[in-house]
C-alpha cells in the first residue's frame, strides 16, 4: 500500500545529504503529506531551500526535541493544519564531538552522557508521549540507530550507549502503543557520509571496513535506508513492531 495523503512528520533534516532528507524525498514521491521539523533558527534557511528539491509544498516547523514545550507547540500547529499523524520519523542524535574519539572512559563526562541520552534517545519517547493522542490507528514510528548500540565501534563511545538506550526504548514504546495498533521500529543503518557522521573521529576508516567486510561488499546509501523506512511506515509492515532492522549490506552478521 502506498502512503498517498498520509501525514508523516520527519525530524532531523539538516542538508540534502541527511538520511532524513532521503526519507522525506521517498515519501514525497509517494504523495505523502511530508511535515518537516528542524532543530533551530540556524538551520531554517538551509532546510527551506530543500523545498524545490523535494518538490512538495514543504511545511517546516522549528522544534528543539530536547524541549517538551517546543514539541507540544509543534504538535498543536501540525494537528491544527493536518489533523492526526499517520507516521513519525525520528532522526535526532547528538553527543559532544570531543567525546566521540579515543577510549570511552577517557573522554566521557556526566554532562555529555546526559546530553547524548536526552537528544539521541529520550527525544523519541518525548515525541511518542506528546503525539500519542494525535496518532491514527495503525500509525508507524521509525527511528534510526547504528550497530554501535550492540558492538564496540572505535570512537563511537557515548553515542553507542545512547543508541542502545534508543533501541531498548523502541521495545517498550512498541508495548506501550501496541494497544492502539501503533508500531514502533528502528533501522540500524550502515555508515553513511552525513554531516552528523563527520563528527566521529576516523569515520572514513569505518566506511572502508564496511565496504571490505560486508557480504555485499558495498557501502549503503541514504536511498537504501529510505526504502526500508517506506516499508516500515506502510501497511506492508503491519505485523512488525519493536524491532531493529539492519540496513547495512549484512555487515552485522560478519565475525572476525
pLDDT > 70: what percent of the chain?
A: 94
Question: What pLDDT, on a 0 to 100 scale, did the predictor assign at position 46?
Answer: 84
- Could you say which of 61, 122, 156, 246 is catalytic? 156
Q: What is the largest CA-CA distance in the chain?
A: 53
Active-site annotation holds for 156? yes
> What CA–CA distance (Å, rounded) separates 76 from 79?
5
Least confident span in 38-47, 207-216, 230-239: 38-47
Is pLDDT at 1 greater than 60 in this prediction? no
Residue 131: pLDDT band (50, 70, 90) is very high
Is pLDDT at 142 greater than 80 in this prediction? yes
**Contact assessment for residue 53 and residue 26, using Cβ atoms and an 8 Å cutoff:** no
Q: Across all residues in the chain, what is the average pLDDT?
A: 92
**Contact assessment for residue 33 and residue 61, using Cβ atoms and an 8 Å cutoff:** no
pTM, 2 dp: 0.94
Question: What pLDDT, on a 0 to 100 scale, did the predictor assign at position 197?
Answer: 62
Question: What pLDDT, on a 0 to 100 scale, did the predictor assign at position 161?
Answer: 98
Residue 200: pLDDT band (50, 70, 90) is low
Residue 16: pLDDT band (50, 70, 90) is confident
Nearest alpha carbon to residue 121 among 178, 161, 72: 161
Structural domains of the chain sorted by starting position, each given as residue range(s) with its CATH number in brackets: 7-246 (3.40.50.720)
Is pLDDT at 135 greater than 80 in this prediction? yes
- Could you say which of 21, 146, 230, 246 is catalytic? 146
Active-site annotation holds for 146? yes
Least confident span in 2-6, 105-109, 135-139, 218-222: 2-6
Nearest alpha carbon to residue 185 among 195, 175, 194: 175
The number of C-alpha atoms within 13 Å of 201 and in the hemisphere containing its C-beta is: 14
> What CA–CA distance (Å, rounded) separates 185 from 242?
5
Is pLDDT at 77 greater than 60 in this prediction? yes
148: cell is 554501535
Least confident span in 82-86, 95-99, 197-201: 197-201
Mean pLDDT of 95-103: 93
Q: Which whole-number Å values give the CA distances from 57 to 28, 49, 62, 159, in the listed order?
A: 10, 12, 16, 34
Amino acid at each position: 500500500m502506498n502512503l498517498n495523503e498520509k501525514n508523516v512528520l520527519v525530524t532531523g533534516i539538516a542538508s540534502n545529504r541527511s538520511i532524513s532528507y532521503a526519507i522525506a524525498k521517498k515519501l514525497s514521491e509517494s504523495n505523502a503529506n511530508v511535515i518537516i521539523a528542524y532543530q533551530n533558527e540556524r538551520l531554517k534557511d538551509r532546510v527551506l531551500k530543500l523545498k524545490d528539491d523535494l518538490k512538495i509544498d514543504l511545511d517546516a516547523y522549528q522544534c528543539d526535541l530536547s524541549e517538551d514545550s517546543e514539541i507540544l507547540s509543534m504538535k498543536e500547529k501540525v494537528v491544527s493544519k493536518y489533523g492526526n499523524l499517520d507516521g513519525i520519523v525520528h532522526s535526532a542524535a547528538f553527543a559532544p564531538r570531543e567525546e566521540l574519539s579515543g577510549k570511552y572512559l577517557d573522554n566521557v563526562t556526566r554532562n555529555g552522557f546526559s546530553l547524548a541520552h536526552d537528544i539521541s534517545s529520550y527525544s523519541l519517547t518525548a515525541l511518542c508521549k506528546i503525539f500519542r493522542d494525535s496518532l491514527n490507528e495503525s500509525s508507524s514510528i521509525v527511528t534510526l540507530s547504528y550497530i554501535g548500540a550492540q558492538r564496540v565501534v572505535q570512537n563511537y563511545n557515548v553515542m553507542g550507549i545512547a543508541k542502545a538506550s534508543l533501541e531498548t526504548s523502541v521495545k517498550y514504546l512498541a508495548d506501550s502503543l501496541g494497544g492502539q495498533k501503533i508500531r514502533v521500529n528502528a533501522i540500524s543503518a550502515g555508515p553513511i557520509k552525513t554531516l552528523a557522521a563527520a563528527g566521529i573521529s576516523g569515520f572514513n576508516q569505518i566506511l572502508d571496513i564496511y565496504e571490505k567486510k560486508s557480504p555485499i561488499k558495498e557501502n549503503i546509501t541514504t536511498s537504501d535506508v529510505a526504502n526500508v523506512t517506506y516499508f516500515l511506515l506502510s501497511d506492508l509492515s503491519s505485523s512488525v513492531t519493536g524491532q531493529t532492522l539492519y540496513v547495512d549490506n549484512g555487515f552485522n552478521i560478519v565475525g572476525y
